[in-house]
Structure 1
């Protein structure tokens, strides 16, 4: 799991999912926050608030160096700490040894600065907030919230006690506690809130994947039930009649031929019923797919516009174009980062043209080109073509074109002539089946 998560960090921004983008943005924000407080709360106060004496400058310089090391270690441990929070991997406790030592050293330098009166009151408090923030952003991701609050309270008490030991007034001691509390609470809010949001996003991402797998499993179960309903009864009858034919043949009874002819008829009926089940499984209703695409994309926060009518299109053309809509919609959700998607269906010059365009870096062939190959095979069955590729500034367009001939249009409208021809063909098929039955009887 962790290796897969680490892999997406090297991918281009457009290739990442929304959850991956939010995570990367959160990490960059935490990195920058640490250095921002280092520059504004540590470096600037140290430059302007430390006395211009040798001892004070040495202590101030050491504190600035220790603060920089704190930021480096914080940036280094932020990613592992986030992985620890999200449950991807555990962060060993020994990884906090160096940051803890640096925090203790920074607090010791602060106490020395205040005890020797080497820095003014405001500078010392800002320096305290900076060193606590650099440590707290990482620490807040590693322990439960109650534990972090409890230990943060203890740390605030220690800071106030140290301030009192250096001879600070009561107001100064109180302000020290306020600054320490701010550092602790800000670290918790900045780290925990962002990490909690990420955990919710990843759970939603995982739930979406599980939902898709369940939908596929449910469809497989439905298909299996349909096949069982079609084949179970017929196979049982075939087995019984075949056994009866064997017994009759052993006795030399002529009824064995009739039983085998009946077995042949049942087998042919079963074959036709299986074809009907498979055909129903493979066909897609274009109107349903267009409505479903608009609903799914809208639910995903993508502005989807669907234009066009499916009335008058032959069933085979609608089925082929319906698969194009389904595949394109799936890839807009899974491989792109679209904010807008338009689906248009027009019929011009004897051709039905379906266009699916989005403004994300889509990849219809996201699984090695199998998506495009499958769509082209379906469209080739109805003499259609498919083109797909980038368009404009970061957009992607899929265009499927299928000829709508007069014969297909008449089939869609149920033309009597075509129906008659179909009846003749069915009659021919019935005669061929009868001939086959006679030949089979003769062989028996």
Structure 2
């Protein structure tokens, strides 16, 4: 049952979590492996078989095993400190440091009573700093760790020299002590660094996924605003007209409500297209739809210039959204009597201008620019102009909107044709949106 539970726990972990667990377990095993091999080996032949040397050797072994326990206790906290997850409490390193000094003192005592041979001394000296260094290597920078290692080596040389170690044996203590510390550094530190990089990459992927979701939400909100804005404005307009006609007993009220029903059904299909991510505005359809709905609202609408049929698909789609948003705002704001839509193309850029009158001198919201009046900016909280600028920015285009004098309001959309919009390119309507794969049905027919 224990094995099954452990297996289920292992299988529930992600690949990165398994690597993390494996790294921590490996680091926890290292001090035990070295202690049980290097600290026990001298008992066979290097420690003199007498009561006092054996007692000191056993005490040294117990101190080393305690160092292993403390090292394992600090592995989690030191890893968390290195990964910038938590701060390691500095006081937890004081007991391991004290035991390291005790270990060095016991080695000096064994040397002082001539209780250990030279090979045994070097082996135990090699093991002495490992348990403490495992945690320390994760808590301080590499440069600081190396300085501390040299300091411990120098202290070891001084202590063992006082205990009676001389000549080549004393010189051999230097590389032996440094080797133990460097062994820990090159095995533990790179492992922790690799783990940190992998966790950072995992966090970056999570962040990228969250940003993709946020961008998709913005895309959906913008498309829904652009799709439903004009249709709802037309429905409201025709509903008001139908009410007035019904109140007068005119049979044309039925025709207006039939038209409202048709537009509502078209809106349903367009919303489905937005949800599927297939929504793409058609410039010719939008120009015809804008002329129809504005004319139905009693606004004289003139579409001049080129048809735009030869423009690349992404450019047509972007300009189609501009026409739709501009027509929506002409219906919503001010009291315009005339609106002109002009499309000019050249080798360098496609320029669409939408101009309407009816701008109020007191700065009230009106005009094709999403509710900008004389000296006023976009409507607070509005998303029309912001959405259009996002669409045009994908194609390196720009959008300008503002009063043009003489009570006029002008919206100008410019999209460079080379090299931002190569012929046949498929450019999504917004960042993070899948490329459109089919045309939406006709948006609007000419209103009666």
User: Does structure 1 residue 269 correspond to structure 2 residue 286?
Assistant: no
* Bigger shift: residues 93-102 or 251-260: 251-260
Alpha-carbon separation, structure 1, partners of 2:142 and 2:15? 27
* Bigger shift: residues 153-162 or 257-266: 257-266
How does the TM-score come out when normalised to structure 2?
0.56
Aligned length: 275
User: Does structure 1 residue 135 correspond to structure 2 residue 149?
Assistant: no
Choose from 195, 200, 204 the match for 1:198. Answer: 195
The superposition leaves residues 59-112 of structure 1 with CA deviations (integer Å, 9 ceiling, x where unpaired) of 111101111111121122212221221122222112122211211111110111
User: How big is the shift at 1:254?
Assistant: 6.0
* Bigger shift: residues 86-95 or 63-72: 86-95
User: Does structure 1 residue 32 correspond to structure 2 residue 22?
Assistant: no
Tell me if the contact between 1:19 and 1:201 (Cα under 8 Å) persists in the aligned partners. yes
Tell me if the contact between 1:137 and 1:190 (Cα under 8 Å) persists in the aligned partners. no
> Which position in structure 1 is the counterpart of 2:328?
none
How does the TM-score come out when normalised to structure 1?
0.57
Superposed, 1:242-321 pairs within 5 Å as 242-246=239-243, 256-279=253-276
User: How big is the shift at 1:114?
Assistant: 1.5
User: Does structure 1 residue 227 correspond to structure 2 residue 221?
Assistant: no
SS in 2 for 1:98: helix
Alpha-carbon separation, structure 2, partners of 1:256 and 1:14? 68
The superposition leaves residues 95-150 of structure 1 with CA deviations (integer Å, 9 ceiling, x where unpaired) of 12221121111111011111222111121121122121111111111112221112
> Which position in structure 1 is the counterpart of 2:42?
45
User: Does structure 1 residue 13 correspond to structure 2 residue 14?
Assistant: no
Alpha-carbon separation, structure 1, partners of 2:144 and 2:213? 44
> What runs of 5+ residues in structure 2 fail to find an aligned partner?
280-448
> What runs of 5+ residues in structure 1 fail to find an aligned partner?
1-7, 283-444
User: How big is the shift at 1:251?
Assistant: 6.5
Alpha-carbon separation, structure 2, partners of 1:276 and 1:218? 18
Alpha-carbon separation, structure 2, partners of 1:201 and 1:230? 43
Alpha-carbon separation, structure 1, partners of 2:54 and 2:88? 37
SS in 1 for 2:48: coil
> Which position in structure 2 is the counterpart of 1:218?
215
> Which position in structure 2 is the counterpart of 1:97?
94
> Which position in structure 1 is the counterpart of 2:64?
67
User: How big is the shift at 1:38?
Assistant: 0.4
Alpha-carbon separation, structure 2, partners of 1:120 and 1:89? 45
* Bigger shift: residues 209-218 or 23-32: 209-218
User: How big is the shift at 1:34?
Assistant: 1.0
Tell me if the contact between 1:223 and 1:281 (Cα under 8 Å) persists in the aligned partners. no
Choose from 153, 157, 167 the match for 2:154. Answer: 157
User: Does structure 1 residue 22 correspond to structure 2 residue 15?
Assistant: no
Alpha-carbon separation, structure 1, partners of 2:141 and 2:240? 72
User: How big is the shift at 1:47?
Assistant: 3.8
Alpha-carbon separation, structure 2, partners of 1:97 and 1:212? 43
Alpha-carbon separation, structure 2, partners of 1:173 and 1:252? 117
User: How big is the shift at 1:44?
Assistant: 0.9
Alpha-carbon separation, structure 1, partners of 2:112 and 2:156? 13
SS in 2 for 1:12: helix
User: How big is the shift at 1:48?
Assistant: 2.4
Choose from 45, 51, 58 the match for 1:54. Answer: 51
> Which position in structure 2 is the counterpart of 1:170?
167
Higher Cα radius of gyration: 2
SS in 2 for 1:268: helix
